[in-house]
Structure 1
Amino acid sequence: MERSDRSAYHATSRSPLLFAKTLAVLGVIGFSFAYLNVNILDIILSFPDFVTFFAANFIPASFTNIGTYLPLLVDTILFAVIGTYCSAFLAFFFGLLMSEQTNPFHWLRLVVRAFISFLRNIPILVWASLLVYIFGIGNMVGLFALVIATLGFLARSYADSIDEIGSTKLEALRASGASYLQILFHGLIPEFIPSWINWTLFSFEINIRASSILGMVGAGGIGIMIQTNIRLFKYHEAFSLIILLVLMVLITEFLVNQLRKYLM
């Protein structure tokens, strides 16, 4: 009886605190809408106009030039492949330098982490816009932007995964006098491989979408053709490219999930 009374007391005492937290969250959301001058009612009321415009201008999709667009779709996929796995290769070494398990030099870890943080916190579209001024419009821009952005993300993810591998798993190798490379190949890498697979495949899925967006700022691939058709008011052809892009993303996600299950 006393235990049930105590539980009821704690539940009652937590209720005002929970209410206050909920009210605070709702207040922040409401302030954000008001500050940005976003009216949900206007959005809801304008939705029928959007549907009417889309149906009149985008439907049906035009696949008359589909043959000329398929190479651009292949470019987009290859951007993601090269960008992901080049950055995954480099990110592993940066991850070793950022981890306490593999790098005993505190000052070096700080320097590398600051550099990776710099790469990671600049949006990929900013990298692409900057690289356009260096390389001009083309595939090189998309590839470099993907590698830079993905390197920052993967290096941080790899380093965190390496840190999660308990030092006790490597202590036996150290106590037996194993060299750094022996500890790396026989102790760390076998434990790290599952995390490497998960993070790398996850980045590949993200880069498939990012590759199409990069094209809209002149970085090549199918995105640049979508942007061009929209600017020229060729909405039917733009819609066909959007359909191809959605199908590509869905197929990629399915194949990546199957590959993940197979590898794991």
Structure 2
Amino acid sequence: MPKTLKRSHQIGFTVAGIGLALVFFSCWYLEISPMDLLLSFPDFISFFTANFLPPNFSDWQEFLPSVLDTIFFAIVATYISTFFAMFFGLMMSELVNPFKPLRVVFRGIVSFFRNIPVMIWASLLVYAFGVGELVGLIALVIATIGFLSRSYADSINELDKSNLEALKACGASPLQVLWHGTLVLFKPSFINWTLYCFELNIRSSTILGMVGAGGIGVLIQTNIKLFRYETAFGIILIVIVMVLCSELLTNKIRERIH
């Protein structure tokens, strides 16, 4: 066996061993017993089959407005965030913005948006603005700006710099360099990241309802609190179908564009 391959295997086993040790230590620290989880699994299955099955779709007409709210949340949040994220992404990119202090400032702002989970944003905004759809929308926009800005900036930095240098050598203006040397080449990544973020926002807008920020999550939370588990499970299945449809739609859009 070659030395490089042998060393690679040794590193792999070492990393796996350290990871396993961390898992056991974490379980010990959190007082979690894997055996208890295994022994309680049959009880979970029994509870689930007795209370959640069969799913109840009898009130599906009442679910429809909340489903539409969730979809429109994702559409509006993604659309609004794209404009802000594009600006932040360009300002964070070394390829576009040569001023390091300015890049650091924008990266700090984006990191602040990005590192706070959307549920935390929603919880804070609920205290500030009260329960409602506006809170969910603002929380989604803030979180999406953080995610897309970082994704856009990293994708722009990966572009080939030789195109920019060639355009500058030909006497192109800064705007022409930005358009032909950056934005045109960045278009495929822009589409992929934006569509991916739309899929994430469909899921996130569902979860936001759990804290009273609107969307179909409110119905799930309400029915669980009222012990209407069959109805709650029916809504959850609708959410799963909605997420799968959004993934199929975005994949079709990617195929048509590329």
What TM-score do you get using the length of structure 2 for normalisation? Answer: 0.95
Q: Measured at CA, do residues 186 and 36 of structure 1 come closer, stay the same or move farther in structure 2, by a change above 3 Å?
A: same
Identify if the C-alpha distance between structure 1 residues 18 and 134 changes in structure 2 by more than 3 Å, giving closer, same or farther.
closer
Aligned with 1:37 (options 21, 24, 31): 31
The alpha carbon displacement at 1:95 in A equals: 0.7
* Structure 1 residue 91 corresponds to structure 2 residue 51: no
Partner of 1:64: 58
How far, CA to CA, are the matches of 1:229 and 1:29 in structure 2?
35
Taking the aligned partners of 1:218 and 1:212, their CA distance within structure 2 comes to 11
Deviation of the 1:191 alpha carbon: 0.2
| Structure-2 separation of matches of 1:102 and 1:15 | 41
1:63 maps to amino acid: F
Change (3 A) 1:14 1:101: closer
Q: Name the CA shift for 1:161/1:233 in 2 (closer, same or farther; >3 Å).
A: same
Unaligned runs of 5+ in 2: none
In structure 2, distance between residues paired with 1:62 and 1:13: 57
Determine helix, strand or coil for the equivalent of 1:216: helix
Identify the residue that residue 127 of structure 2 maps to in structure 1: 133
Letter in 1 for 2:120: V
- Are 2:195 and 1:201 equivalent residues in the alignment? yes
CA displacement, residues 204-241 of structure 1 (integer Å, 9 cap, x when unaligned): 11111101000110110000110011011111111110
For residues 17 and 58 of structure 1, what CA distance do their matches in structure 2 show? 46
- Quote the Cα distance in structure 2 between the aligned partners of 1:81 and 1:163: 27
Following TM superposition, by how much is the alpha carbon of 1:39 offset from its aligned partner in structure 2, in angstroms?
1.2
- For 1:229-255, what per-residue CA distance to the aligned partner results, in whole angstroms no more than 9, with x for missing partners? 101111111111011111111111111
Give aligned-pair identity as a percent. Answer: 53
Q: Work out which of the residue numbers 152, 157, 160 in structure 2 matches 1:163.
A: 157
TM alignment of 1:167-178, pairs within 5 A: 167-178=161-172
Q: Which one has the largest radius of gyration?
A: 1
- Greater shift, 131-140 or 112-121, is seen at 131-140
Instruction: Tell me the secondary structure at the aligned position of residue 219 of structure 1.
Output: coil
Task: Give the alignment's Cα RMSD to 1 decimal.
Answer: 1.6
More displaced stretch, 215-224 vs 38-47: 38-47
- Residue type matched to 2:252 in 1? Q
Deviations 1:89-128 (A, max 9, x none): 2111111111111112111101000110111000110000
Within 5 Å, give how 1:1-264 maps onto structure 2.
7=1, 18-264=12-258
**Structure 1 position 189, deviation (Å):** 1.2
Question: Quick one: distance in 1 between partners of 2:39 and 2:164?
Answer: 62
Q: 219-228 vs 15-24, which deviates more?
A: 15-24
Structure 2 CA distance for partners of 1:105 and 1:10, relative to 1, 3 Å: closer
Give, in whole Å, the separation in 2 of the partners of 1:232 and 1:116. 40
SS of structure 1 residue aligned to 2:211 = coil
Shift of 1:25: 2.1
Structure-2 change in CA distance of 1:101 and 1:9 (3 Å): closer
What TM-score results when the alignment is normalised by the length of structure 1? Answer: 0.93
Give the Cα–Cα distance (whole angstroms) in 2 for the partners of residues 257 and 15 of structure 1: 37
Distance 1:73 1:159 in 2: 33
